[in-house]
Structures are given as C-alpha cells and as structure tokens.
Amino acid sequence: MPDLRGPEGGPTGALYGMINMLRRMRKEVTAEYSACVFDAKGKTFRDDWYPEYKANRPSMPEDLARQIEPIHVAVRALGWPLLMIDRVEADDVIGTLCTEAEKLGMNVVVSTGDKDLAQLVSNRVTLVNTMTNETLDRDGVVAKFGVPPERIIDYLSLIGDTVDNVPGVEKCGPKTAVKWLTQYESLDGIVEHASEIKGAVGDNLRRALDFLPMARKLVTVERHCDLTGHIVSIEESLPSLPESREELRDLFTRHGFKTWLREVEIADAVEGPETDVPPALSVDHERHYETVQTWEQLDAWLDKINAAELTSFDSETTSLDPMVAQIVGLSLSVEAGRAAYVPLAHRGPDAPVQLPRDEVLAKLKPWLESADHKKVGQHLKYDEQVLANYGIEMRGVEHDTLLESYVLESHRTHDMDSLALRHLGVKTIKYEEVAGKGAQQIGFDEVALDKAAEYAAEDADITLRLHQALYPQIAVEKSLDHVYREIEVPTSRVLRKMERTGVLIDAEKLRQQSSEIATRLIELEGNAYELAGGEFNLGSPKQIGQIFFEKLELPVIKKTPSGAPSTDEEVLQKLAEDYPLPKILLEHRGLSKLKSTYTDKLPRMVNSQTGRVHTNYAQAVAVTGRLASNDPNLQNIPVRTGEGRRIREAFIAPPGHKLVSADYSQIELRIMAHISGDESLMRAFSQGEDIHRATASEIFNVTPLEVSSDQRRVAKVINFGLIYGMSAFGLASNLGITRDAAKMYIDRYFARYPGVARYMDETRLSAKAKGYVETVFGRRLWLPEINGGNGPRRQAAERAAINAPMQGTAADLIKMSMIAVQNWIEDSKIGTRMIMQVHDELILEVPDAELSEVRKRLPELMCGVAALKVPLVAEVGAGLNWEEAH
C-alpha cells in the first residue's frame, strides 16, 4: 500500500488501500451476502499441533498496527460484516463459509492473494486478487500451479511454506512438486513410491517422510469450524449492508481522504437521506449505447454535440502511430451513461452497414474545428494527430483526463482502464477482449460491430465520467488548476504541432557512420579476444564473468542477487580504471547501443510522406513533469562522446534555414537559489558570477581569481551532486578522494550556504508529513516511499524530495517557454517552427530571413515566463545542424 499520512501525520496507507479494495469489490461483484475476515490475536489450534508454526514470522510493523482499529471501523462503515474468531485463523473461517455457502447452492468469490486458498476453488468458488486483478477458477489454478485445486494441499505439503514456518521437502520446488504429483497422482502416491525417486531430492524426500503428515495437516484449510456465537447462518448474519455515510464522513474527515469525503457530501446533497439499498446494487450508471449507421442518427447526434457544454470524443484507428493511423470509427458522449459509436471503416466478409468516412468527417469538421464547442478526451493529442491526417485541425480541446490524472497523481498509472477502476470502480472492456492477444490479435477494423460499438462507446462514456470525477479535485486547488490549465493542456497543443512537423535528418550520413561503427566494433572484438586469450560472446554476462573472475582473476566489485559476480555498467566503469579489457567492453557496449538505437534505426524511421522523423512526446510519464521522447527517443543521444555528437550532426536544417538551439543556463542551480533563498547563492547569480568558481572560492577560502581549474571542477561536482542527494561516499567516489575529505567539502559547502542546508532539512520534514513536494508553480510531486519501511527506497525518496522541486520547476519552465514561443510564432505569422524539446533545450527550424529576430526574441521569451529571485539566463546558438547549433 502507498505510505500515506493523515492530517495529524499518522499512517493511513493500509487504511486507504483496504477501503479502496472493499469498495471496488462491492462495485465489481454484486453479492447478497458478504464478510470481511480477520485473524484474531493470539495462538491458534495449529500452534497446539506444531509449536514452531509461524515462529519465524516478524511482528507486525508499528505503522500497520496503528491502522488496524480504524480499518475495523472502516470495514463496518462500508457495510461489511466483520468476523474475527479466537484461536481460528481467517483462512479457516473463509474455508468454513465457502463450504456452507456451497451447500446452500451459492456462488462464492474469495478476495485474496494467498496461494493456500487455491485449495478452496471449485465450480462454485472463485478467487480474485484485487492487487493484481488475477482471477482463479479451476482452470486458472491448474494454469498457475500445474495441479488442480484438490491437489493444492499435496503441492503445498511438498514445497513447504517459509512464511508459516512449515518445512516441506528440502530442495523440492514447484516444478519438482508438479512433476511428482503428475507422475504419482497424490502425496500418498509419492510417499508410496519414495524409494524409487533417485538423486539428492529423493534422499530429501525420504528424510521428510515422517514430517509430511504434519505438513499436510498444517497447510489444510479447515472447512468445518464452529462459528457458534459469531453467526447463526449466512442468510441471517451476513447480508451485504448499505454504507453508513455518517460514519464514513467522520472517518474520511479524520484521516484526510478528501476525494471520498466530497463523494459523501455530493451523495448527501443529491440523494438526500441514506437509503437501505446496498451500494453493490446501484454502483454503475445504466448504459445506453447507440451504433450510428444512418444519416438521421448522425444528425441527431450532431444536434446533441452542438448544444452540449462539453462532449467526450474518441477515435478508433488502425495503428498506434498517429502519423499513419486511419480512422475506423468515432465515439461521442455528452451525458454519463449515454454514448454513440459511428463505424466508418470496418471491413471483412461481414462488414456492417456504415456511413461513408469522408462524408461523415466533412459533416463533423465544422464542429471538430470549432473552438467554441468544448471537447474532452483521454490523450486527445493522439486523436488530434489522426484527424490531421484527414485535413482536420481539432480545436476546442478543453480537458484531457490523461492530464487530469497526471496532475492529480503523477506517481500512478494513467491509462483509462486503470483510472476507471480506481476512480469509478468500473471494470472496463479491455482491447484484448475484443481484438484478441499476441499473434492472434486482429485490427479494430476487423472486430465484429456489436463488440466494437460497445467497446468504443464505453471509451467515450467512461472518459466523460472520469472528467466529472477528476476535474473537481483539481479545480478546488488553485495551484493544481494553474498547472493543469495553464501548463499541461496548452503544452499538449504545442507538442502536437512539434510531433507533426518532425525533424529532417541526413540518412546517408547516419548510414556512413553505422558502417564506420561496425568496423570499429570488429576491431574492439579482436582486441577483447586477444586480452581474454580466446573468443567469447561480448554480450554474455556469464561468459564475461568467467573470463574476468575465473580466468583473469579480476577483483569482484559487487554481486548479483543470485550471488554471482556482477558485470554491470558500474562494475565495468570501476574495473576500467585499472584493466584494459573492461574498458574495451565499455566502449563496445556504448557503440553497439549507439548503432542499434540511432545510426541503424533512424534512417528506417523517416516518414515516407513527410521525409522527416516524427517522435512522440509522452507528457504523463515522469513524476517530475519532464517530457519523455520515444519512437525514436531523441532525449538520450549521448553528447559526451564524438560518436554521439556526430549523430546530432545528422539532424539538419532544410535549405535556406538554420537550426536554432536555446537552453536555460544552470537552471536547476538557479532554482535552488530561488527556493532555498540562500543569500550567497542568490548574490552570485544576481551578479552574474561563475557559480562553480564562486562555490570553489567559498569552499577553499580563496579569492575567485585564485581558484584553480581543479578546484572549480570539485565545486561543480559538489554543486550538482548535492542537489541530487549525493553523499560523502558518492562524492569521494566521483572525485577520487577519501571519504573524510569529501565530508569536509560538504561541511564547508553547507557552512557557506546555510540556506541550502535549511532548505534540505525543511523539505525532508515537509515531504514526510505530506507525502509530496511541490514545484515553484504548484505541481505536486508524490513520493510514495518517503515514509516506507524499506531503507534504501526511503533514502532514495528523501534524495528525490530534495531534487524533485528543482527538476519539476525546470520542467514547468521549459513547458511555459514552449507555450510562449509557440504563441509568438503564431501571433507573428512567421515561418519558424519548433521541432524538438530535449530536457532544458528547445530546437527550432528557422528561415534565414528570420534568424536575427528569433535569436533576439527567444531568450526574452524564455526568461520572461517567470520572475524568480535570481535572473534566468537562456543561451542561443544556430547552425546548419543540431550539433553546430548546440
């Protein structure tokens, strides 16, 4: 569960997760009877049989223990009868309830992640794991475990259970257990033929024979527990009850669950007094989905969308690549629960009656291009690109649920299926359910119309409902609303234009470089074989490990989780300081990646229609707000090597143009000065000093003029290292100095820049209390691990808490710059086009006649988007290619 904190700082993550899952179960499974079962404190009857039972299990973490009582309160408030029976484990209570329910002819769903309960599965009992969305019926148990439910007890007896401290047969894992049970049919059959089983595992089996009956007894779920005094019968004692809004209101207020609290308040306002109808019976909207196959139907929907304040829009297409995708159909919704699908290009022998695509698009074009008719969608940037293939420039994009989710919860997944389950409690139709999986998957244009229509109409309906659930949570927070409406939504429009424009590359230059790299790789292989004393696979960690640590006896730097010596990048870097072979392997790896990722791949990615390469900018990926580039990734081209820089040379300007690069100078350090308010840092930036020289002057106690190049290098590493949470150990390793010396440098740094030290301390405390940090502009950067129990992950979250506000603010600034620059380009009606964004850098394609004006205006625009306590500086360069401009 996420490590959340309530208004008073107490842990609420387990409580939040429990409420979420119980509400979700109610929404997904309409049940007449229900129970939530807990283990009672103290020993159980199994402890009488076997005193070592669960002896090794650690005590419950304190943060979890503090949440048990409020969880019990929440369970009852949500309408779940709660069972907790002394000396009987929850599994046994569940087993007994399943058996009793089956006798009454009931179907049972058990929500659990416990493999032991697979033994309960039958034609009437199904397991559902709400953490993984896994459902296990009889076939599912066989597929997962390799044995049917009636053999799970035998299976568990053989493999044992380390969590419960039940020893099985030593070295008998799942595969061996399945093999034996397949061959001998049961545990009794295995015991009977134990003398025939050869090898060490056979010896282990024979040694375990005396204990196996006890193991079987311990792992068997008891199905006939005495529940007298707790329930009379399932029908009388365990009916599904309605939620108690009054209790939930108090609970949500006390623990800071604002979204859920608003839901209760809305329900009170809309529905009035609480009713006796269980929420499971009235969760989802009644659905009315229409398939539009006549002009009369289309005209009726045109009237609806023209009159609507907001319309949910979605397109179904033939490809995930928007530059080549063709429209198969469109879906619309203006009211929750009501939607339409307009099929336009379904094909095949059973192709349905459809309106002609071009005529429908022509009829919809005025509405699609109208800025007055507001639209909402899930990742509308994609739909906008697809419509552009038909000469339609979509306007009036008011909301995007992908971006709403991203602004609210940047650390979570934002696909529509996940959002629907998380925020609406609705399990949507998956694409694979209508189109199939893997090699058997068909195109959407081949999907049967009834399935396609329900799937597509649901997309539009769910998107509208998600907006109605998500945007109110943003609107009430002024800072979040600013980030969403003034940064993210306008950025999406700019990205769409950049993606559409693409970038020109010199494919022949890249092919030539690929050939040269191939020659160099052959040379490096020969050198590696010579140093290793024979040929080997340079891509095989196993073979490299044998040569390094067995043949050449190089020192082992670290080990993999399995205990083998590691040969990862970090190890190679360290060994390369003293040994030639690791150095050669590093160069080989770097060049191989460069060749496969860029010099070979980029020429193949040139769009045949535009003659350009078109990347996709993913807006809702990085927690910090940074954009991600993919297909191809233009943000990871290495710039510290000659080969990497040569790749940039292949990004070229067309004749009569130049590429212009503009990026912020030392942006994160400037943001640190602004956020920390440190006087020395702010003074250095305000006076235009070389910040690394100024830092070196402070640390080494010399005048700026006396600072040596080596001292400046040390200061630069410290400046950037500390804002990324670098420790004394990391600094020592980076600079090749002792840890004591590194600690002294850090101590001096904080003594000279006390505002930075204060900022770091206050930020850690604030992040722990809130579970997030914020950028200067109000973007919320969630840190789920900041209060977690795992030491390394918690420490990483603490480091992220320091740096995320700077990275996030830098991301906000570059997005704001993109918006400002694009607005200027459009207002000025010039031919300049923005074609790439790489971290803190913008790349533009500029006609020669406009070069002087663009070079003048770019820094003004970029530095004018915000007023920090220190001046922003943007540096601009121009050239015939990207490298020359940079």
Q: Measured between alpha carbons, how far is 101 from 94 in angstroms, rounded to an integer?
A: 10
What is the pLDDT averaged over residues 638-646?
86
Q: Measured between alpha carbons, how far is 828 from 849 in angstroms, rounded to an integer?
A: 14
Question: Which has the higher per-residue pLDDT, 308 or 561?
Answer: 308
Tell me the average pLDDT of the chain. 90
Task: Report the half-sphere exposure of 829 (CA within 13 A, side-chain side).
Answer: 0
Residue 4 has pLDDT above 80, yes or no: no
Joined tokens for residue 724: 């990324």
Which whole-number Å values give the CA distances from 43 to 49, 92, 222, 230, 620, in the listed order? 11, 14, 16, 19, 49
- Element (DSSP H or E) covering residue 481: helix 478-482
Q: Measured between alpha carbons, how far is 478 from 431 in angstroms, rounded to an integer?
A: 36
3-class DSSP state of 789: coil
pTM score: 0.70
Percent of the chain whose pLDDT exceeds 70: 97
Q: What angle do CA 830, 833, 839 make, to 5 degrees?
A: 140
Query: Looking at 162-166, 270-274, 405-409, 702-706, which range is the least confident one?
Result: 270-274
Question: Which has the higher per-residue pLDDT, 184 or 279?
Answer: 184
- Taken in order 267, 271, 277, 283, is the CA torsion positive or negative? negative
Q: Which amino acid is at 765?
A: L
Which whole-number Å values give the CA distances from 584 to 46, 312, 520, 538, 646, in the listed order? 60, 56, 11, 10, 21
Residue 643 has pLDDT above 70, yes or no: yes
Question: Which has the higher per-residue pLDDT, 268 or 337?
Answer: 337
Looking at the chain, how many residues does it have? 886
What is the pLDDT averaged over residues 728-738?
85
Angle between helices 401-408 and 449-475 (to 10 degrees): 40
Going by their DSSP bridges, the two strands 375-377 and 780-782 should be labelled as unpaired
At residue 281, the pLDDT reads 28
Report the phi/psi class of residue 256: left, alpha or beta, with left for phi > 0 and alpha for psi in -120 to 50: left
Residue whose pair of structure tokens reads 């019990």 in the numeric block? 72
Backbone angles phi, psi at 432, to 5 degrees: -65, -25
What is the pLDDT averaged over residues 336-347?
96
Under the banding of pLDDT at 50, 70 and 90, the label for residue 11 is confident
As assigned by CATH, the class of the 506-605 domain is mainly alpha
Under the banding of pLDDT at 50, 70 and 90, the label for residue 298 is very high
Cβ atoms 410, 491 nearer than 8 A: no
Question: Which has the higher per-residue pLDDT, 516 or 201?
Answer: 516
CB under 8 Å to 167, separation ≥6 — which residues? 160, 208, 211, 215
Cβ atoms 138, 122 nearer than 8 A: yes
Query: Looking at 24-38, 334-348, 589-603, which range is the least confident one?
Result: 24-38
Residue-wise pLDDT tens digits, 190-211: 988 888 888 888 898 998 888 8
Going by their DSSP bridges, the two strands 134-136 and 616-618 should be labelled as unpaired
At residue 134, the pLDDT reads 81
What is the pLDDT averaged over residues 590-609?
93
Question: Which has the higher per-residue pLDDT, 527 or 134?
Answer: 527
Residue 2 has pLDDT above 80, yes or no: no
Residue 792 has pLDDT above 80, yes or no: no
3-class DSSP state of 661: strand
Choices 3.30.450.20, 1.10.3210.10, 3.30.420.10, 3.40.50.11750: CATH for 288-476: 3.30.420.10
E-only strand ranges, 336-481: 338-343, 375-377, 397-400
Percent of the chain whose pLDDT exceeds 90: 59
CB under 8 Å to 569, separation ≥6 — which residues? 586, 589
At residue 279, the pLDDT reads 35
* Burial letters 415-433, b for 16+ CB under 10 A, else e: ebbebbbbbbbbebeebee
Residue 49 has pLDDT above 90, yes or no: no
CB under 8 Å to 824, separation ≥6 — which residues? 857, 861
Q: Please name which of 455, 308, 444, 280 lies closest in space to residue 376, comparing C-alpha atoms.
A: 308
> Could you name the CATH architecture of 674-806?
Orthogonal Bundle (1.10)
Residue-wise pLDDT tens digits, 207-239: 888 888 888 888 899 999 888 888 888 888 888
Under the banding of pLDDT at 50, 70 and 90, the label for residue 642 is confident
What is the pLDDT averaged over residues 788-798?
74
What is the pLDDT averaged over residues 52-71?
82
135 exposure class (CB count in 10 Å sphere: 0-12, 13-18, 19+): exposed
Residue-wise pLDDT tens digits, 437-491: 888 899 999 999 999 999 999 999 999 999 999 999 999 889 999 999 999 999 9
Question: Which has the higher per-residue pLDDT, 602 or 539?
Answer: 602
Q: Measured between alpha carbons, how far is 349 from 328 in angstroms, rounded to an integer?
A: 16
Cβ atoms 76, 82 nearer than 8 A: yes
Cβ atoms 692, 715 nearer than 8 A: yes
Q: Measured between alpha carbons, how far is 766 from 797 in angstroms, rounded to an integer?
A: 13
- Residue 234: DSSP 8-state: H
Q: Measured between alpha carbons, how far is 566 from 516 in angstroms, rounded to an integer?
A: 31
Residue-wise pLDDT tens digits, 853-882: 999 999 999 999 999 999 999 999 999 999
The domain ranges of the chain are 288-476, 506-605, 674-806
Under the banding of pLDDT at 50, 70 and 90, the label for residue 21 is confident
Residue 789 has pLDDT above 70, yes or no: no
At residue 404, the pLDDT reads 97
At residue 36, the pLDDT reads 95
3-class DSSP state of 341: strand
